[in-house]
Amino acid sequence: MTNMSRRDVLGWLGGAALGGVLAGVGGVVATAGDGLAAKNDKPKLKETPKPAAWVPHKLNAVECAPVAYAGYWDDGLGCCYGSFHAIIGAMGEKFGAPYNQFPFRMMEVGKSGISEWGTICGALLGAASAYALFWGRKERDPMVTELFRWYERTAFPIYDPGAGAQGAAGPLPTHVPGSVLCHISVSSWCQATGIDAGNVKRSERCARVTADVTSKAIEIMNAKIDGTFAPALKSQAEAACGACHGKGKVSPMLKGRMDCTPCHGGSAHVQDKFHNHP
Ligand code: HEC
Ligand code: HEC
């Protein structure tokens, strides 16, 4: 590098980058006295490449569910990667760019409710993120709401990988999570089934939930593409409680659309555990 002349370095940087660099340091270059800044002729091709379009494509849920299940186990990437990759990765497989250009591994962040925090179920985050590549909030929010409401009230898991099981084979006990939160979804399943959160059967359950969420997400997405998507699932709690706690009501403190029942339903599970507790 030391033997490289300044001209060599500039040439090596490349014309396109050079234009930007010189625009930013015009004063310095002018002082150097080689007149490059004065040229101001940024090299440009006549045909500016257009960005590949992120348009949604219909998918086959039966094909994608096993991919979601396997994605969960793949290098421990987990539920959020599993659902996202089964949707966008499947588009990449069929249509190439831009879908196959996505840095899929970043979706690992959603695993276990975002970096092990147990907030949103990662499989839901993955699916909602896939929607977000194609639809802005006005279009997307009802799709997300339909998926999330379905999740709240569905007995999981449904999917059975059969001979392809990677954690534990055979049927698993099911439980309705009542909540989109990873913590409530997993812990209430553990409580109901007597299976520890650290047990491989729990991982197996979440891998299967990843497949279930992917299938439902694709069903909603396909309907959206066909123009037949009509949100059907309503929350009684949201409507009842929102009547007073919603925007512009008597006690307008409510933020969010989660079903209120698991946390404000008065069940024994959410009473004080800091006193008189084993
Ligand atoms: C008829 C109107 C009304 C309805 C319906 C209603 N609330 Fe309230 N709620 C209130 C009012 C008024 C307060 C007093 C809070 C304040 O100062 O704004 C309150 C307070 C609360 C509080 C905080 C204080 C406390 O007592 O714990 C929670 C939590 C709450 N409501 C949840 C709910 C949930 C969940 C539902 C649905 C099952 C619901 N509310 C339905 C009017 C209502
Ligand atoms: C995942 C659990 C969870 C869900 C689901 C949930 N809440 Fe809450 N909510 C809380 C917690 C925890 C607080 C804070 C309580 C405190 O102040 O100690 C809170 C606070 C509130 C408050 C403010 C008053 C207060 O006690 O701080 C209202 C009103 C409220 N929630 C209504 C609702 C309604 C209506 C729904 C359903 C549409 C809902 N919440 C869903 C857990 C939840």
Q: What is the pLDDT along the chain (278 residues), one digit of tens a residue?
A: 344 444 444 444 444 444 444 343 433 444 444 555 556 778 877 787 777 789 999 999 999 999 999 999 999 999 999 999 999 999 999 999 999 999 999 999 999 999 999 999 999 999 999 999 999 999 999 999 999 999 999 999 999 999 999 999 999 999 999 999 999 999 999 999 999 999 999 999 999 999 999 999 999 999 999 999 999 999 998 899 999 999 999 999 999 999 999 999 999 999 999 999 99
Is there a domain that residue 242 lies in?
no
CB-based burial of residue 166 (10 Å sphere; 0-12 exposed, 13-18 middle, 19+ buried)? middle
Is there a domain that residue 183 lies in?
yes
Is there a domain that residue 159 lies in?
yes
Report the Cα–Cα distance between both ends of the chain, in Å, rounded: 69
Query: Residue 43, preceding bond cis, omega within 30 degrees?
Result: no
Is there a domain that residue 13 lies in?
no
Is there a domain that residue 177 lies in?
yes
Q: At 15, phi and psi to the nearest 5?
A: -60, -45
Query: Which residues face 181 on adjacent strands?
Result: 120
- Sorted by sequence, the CB contacts under 8 Å of residue 277 that are 6+ apart come out as none
260 lines ligand 2 (CB under 6 A): yes
Protein residue closest via CA to atom 40 of ligand 1: 241
Is there a domain that residue 81 lies in?
yes
237 lines ligand 2 (CB under 6 A): yes
CA 67 to CA 22: how far, in whole Å?
A: 48
Q: What is the pTM of this model?
A: 0.86
Of 78, 75, 76, 98, give the one whose Cα is nearest residue 88: 98
Is there a domain that residue 8 lies in?
no
Neighbours of 224 (CB within 10 A): 20
Between helices 200-226 and 122-132, what is the axis angle to 10°?
Answer: 20
Between helices 200-226 and 61-73, what is the axis angle to 10°?
Answer: 150
Is there a domain that residue 235 lies in?
no
The count of structural domains within the chain is 1
CA 155 to CA 178: how far, in whole Å?
A: 9
Write out the residue range of the structural domain in which residue 149 sits. Answer: 61-226
258 lines ligand 2 (CB under 6 A): yes
